[in-house]
Amino acid sequence: MRVINDLDSIDWASMGHAYGPAHEVPVWLRAMASTDPGVRRKGLDDFYSAAHHQGDVYPCTTASLPFLFALADDAATPDRAAIVELLLNIGREATDRGEGIYVAPDGGESTAPADSAAVMRERSDAFLAYATDPDPGVRRPGIEGLGLFLDDADRAFAALRDRLPAEDGTVERLLVVRTMATLALRLPTARPAASAWLDALADDPATEPDIRLAALVHRARCAPEDIRDDTVPTAIALLRRLAPEPEHRAGSTACACEADEAEDDAPAAPAQAGVPPQVAAAFEDLDRQGRLHAPTTSLLRTFHTVLDTRVPERTALLTEQLRSPDRATRYDAIRMAQDLITAWRGDHTGLVLLLADRLTPEDPYTAAAAAESLQVLGPAGEPAREALAGYVAAHRAVHGPRAWATPKRLARRAHQEAVMALAGLGDPRALPCLLTALEDGTDAWRAVQVAGRLRSEADVLVPLLSRHLAEADFSTPWADMGTGALVSALAGLGDAAAVPALTDAVTAAVRHEQPRIAAAAVKALASFGAGAADALEAVRPLADAPNVDLRTAAMAALWALERDPSDAVPRLLDLLDTHAHHDAADVLGLIGPPAAAALPRLRTMLTAGYEWTRLYAAAAVWDIAGEAEADVVLRTLLTAWEQHDATSNHVLACLDRMGPAAAPALPRIRAELALARRSGRFRSIANDEELRHTCRAVLARLS
């Protein structure tokens, strides 16, 4: 191919990419034209990894476009579909970044995204050809490209309109409808014709219900302000008309489940040497989360995005999805329900119970997903408690008391997820299963994650967790991944019987130069207060540790264990000038009035540019000086809260301590309780629930 030979005419060395010089780019482009499938695959992977790393567009990416188009246009090119998909991805990212100068990952200025977008528009006729290609793998990115790159609105509209009757695949037909809406949103001149087409399609009783549903959703996407009261009921009616996906359709949840079940009795794959099981499991989770089981899933996700704040309508839609006779639709609705509940306040009991209904022993693939979501929901999953307990008991009845370690891989995952969700609710009925894990070591790392929630069973769990901590290998690079969870679990159980094991962990971590583990163990010891006095000999030398985080943790622990401000305050004052100043301010606040020497430095921190620094300083100033500083403290707290709602848990904790002095904050507290969207640190359910509980407590005290 002549144009591929022209690769040598370009000065690639002057064009950087994610990993430095771009002289490798022509090698990858030639590889994509190779007759060897392995070489082609590696060339494409290398290009994605460097010249299009995480969607970035570099000068070398722009320079590659003519050669990529040459490959895509040649019917003899192997893997043309992958090349056209790459062109679409580059063009989409370039278009999303807009015109003008872009700050590249290396900090330099670049016009590569704008330049690439211009090339895509210049070559947009190629997508007209791709959209009619016999290969559906070429047609799909070709169809999508019509909505993104073709600037002739009439021509793009006509091409998409004509594609719908020409396509017989559900995926392609849904893509045509979605792309028509994309075109309408990108080109205002296309909007009247595209909107009228979508309206007519949605209302046409002769059209298949999935296409009508797509037209309804994408019409709403084009004009969310025009969503009518009957839009969601109409969508639900169309969902009910959809036929269940065939059990053996490629990509369906049935197929996915059957594939897992086919391997269910096979031994688990050996772990890669040196890689913690947590890491391997995280990649497996990412793979599962990326699967779409029903062809309408992307469409319904789009609908939920468009509906946004209309929580009652979204709840009604999810109720229908979770009750669908189609197994694939039910499965994919689980994550959507989780996303709604984690983002919005309200009574979600109905959805939680529907998630609990998916805990069926005959479908462990779906049950595992439902249990995992219930675990994520934390306290909001309370209505599913009995269903979780029942599912765990049923599993133990079928697989025996060692169900946690059953060799059936899929059943084991479903069982473990349900046990972890039950333990997350603090339910002691999870204990026998956790004991199985901790006693023989099978997936013990999973049990450790939730063991700290069973405080009522601390007398049984602490000895086992202590043994695991004692057996931990502190010399490995991944040591903190496993030991950190053990330390957290022991602290969470709140039983001072853990002090000896935690003290030994501190000593071992210091010996193996693992300051993060040592700091975590020291913080755990501090949580026991005077009950950890026996650890003083191990902790006291760490007040002079070279690692700032370990030194700060040691000072917090020393205050908790022996309450001597004469030694603590000067050291903490020094720490206010390090990156650990937030934690140091916290401890000074705990010391209270005896830390008055820190007030001048803390008042200086009240003027910092970072709201978190001002917040920590304000809380410490209140705890040390009290009423005399009420005005400045209150003003600082409310400003930080207004600037960044992630500070709200910390702000409310201080307001709660301020008593009557917090009265001027009541309007802001009432406003917080009136919000529909979840707030709090990380916007997690647990933090949001804690935030609202504190808000109500302050209101009750001061109103």
Last residue of a domain, one of 162, 184, 206: 184
Please report, rounded to a whole number, the percentage of residues in the chain having pLDDT higher than 70. 91
Q: Residue 518: which of 467, 561, 552 has the closest Cα?
A: 552
Residue 447 lies in a domain: no
C-alpha closest to that of 80 among 88, 91, 72? 72
Q: Do 552 and 686 belong together in one domain? A: no
Of 539 and 50, the one with more pLDDT: 539
Residues 617, 550 share a domain:
no
Residues 147 and 29 in one domain: yes
Task: Read off the pLDDT band of 253 (50, 70, 90).
Answer: very low
* Rounded mean pLDDT, 497-504: 98
Q: Is residue 133 part of a domain?
A: yes
19 and 152: one domain? yes
Residue 353 pLDDT: 98
Residue 380 token pair: 């909001």
Tell me whether residue 433 is in a domain: no
Contact 176, 167 (CB under 8 A): yes
**Per-residue burial over 466-490, b = 16 or more CB atoms within 10 Å of its CB, e = otherwise:** bebbeebebeeeebbebbebbbbbb
Residue 44 confidence class, pLDDT cut points 50, 70, 90: confident
Domain-located, residue 69: yes
**In whole angstroms, what is the distance from residue 247 CA to residue 326 CA?**
9
Is pLDDT above 60 for 688? yes
Asked which of 184, 217, 239 is the last residue of a domain, the reply is: 184
Q: What type of residue sits at position 22? A: A
The answer to whether the beta carbons of residues 44 and 86 sit under 8 Å apart is yes
Q: Are residues 531 and 612 in the same domain?
A: no
556 and 651 together in one domain? no
Decide which of 40 and 157 is more confident: 157
In a domain, 678, yes or no: yes
Residue 300 has a pLDDT of 96
Q: Do both 9 and 126 map to the same domain?
A: yes
Q: Which of these ranges, 44-58, 113-127, 162-176, 422-436, has the smallest mean pLDDT? A: 44-58
Instruction: Over range 526-547, report the average pLDDT.
Output: 96
Based on the fold, state whether residues 11 and 113 are members of the same structural domain: yes
CATH code for the domain in which residue 89 is found: 1.25.10
In this structure, the answer to whether residues 559 and 610 fall within a common structural domain is: no
Angle of helix 253-262 relative to helix 364-377, nearest 10 degrees?
110
Structural domain includes residue 63:
yes
**Is pLDDT at 615 greater than 60 in this prediction?**
yes
Residue 508 lies in a domain: yes
pLDDT digits (tens, 9 = 90+) for 314-341: 999 999 999 999 999 999 999 999 999 9
pLDDT computed for residue 625 by the predictor: 97
Domain boundary residue among 184, 207, 231? 184
Residue range 392-401, pLDDT digits in tens: 999 999 999 9
CA–CA dist 409, 397 (Å, integer): 17
Q: Which domain holds residue 476?
A: 455-563
Residue 134 lies in a domain: yes
pLDDT confidence bin for 107, thresholds 50/70/90? low
User: Would you state the pLDDT for residue 303?
Assistant: 97
Angle 581-591/548-562 helices, nearest 10 degrees?
10
Does the pLDDT at position 446 exceed 90?
yes
pLDDT of residue 252: 45
Per-residue model confidence (pLDDT) at position 639 = 97
Is 202 buried (19+), middle (13-18) or exposed (0-12) by CB count in 10 A? buried
| Number of domain units in the chain | 3
- The reply to whether 598 and 559 lie within a common domain is no
pLDDT (mean) for 146-157: 96
Q: How far is CA 48 from the centre of its chain?
A: 23
First to last CA, the chain: 80
Triad 688, 690, 691: Cα angle to 5°: 60
* pLDDT of the residue at 452: 97
- The Cα 696–Cα 334 span in angstroms is 31
pLDDT at 24: 73
For position 251, what pLDDT does the model report?
40
State residue 249's pLDDT score: 46
Residues 531 and 655 in one domain: no
| Together in a domain, 612 and 666 | yes
Mean pLDDT of 210-225: 96
Is it the case that residue 664 has pLDDT exceeding 70? yes
Mean pLDDT of 344-351: 97
What CA–CA distance (Å, rounded) separates 106 from 384?
48
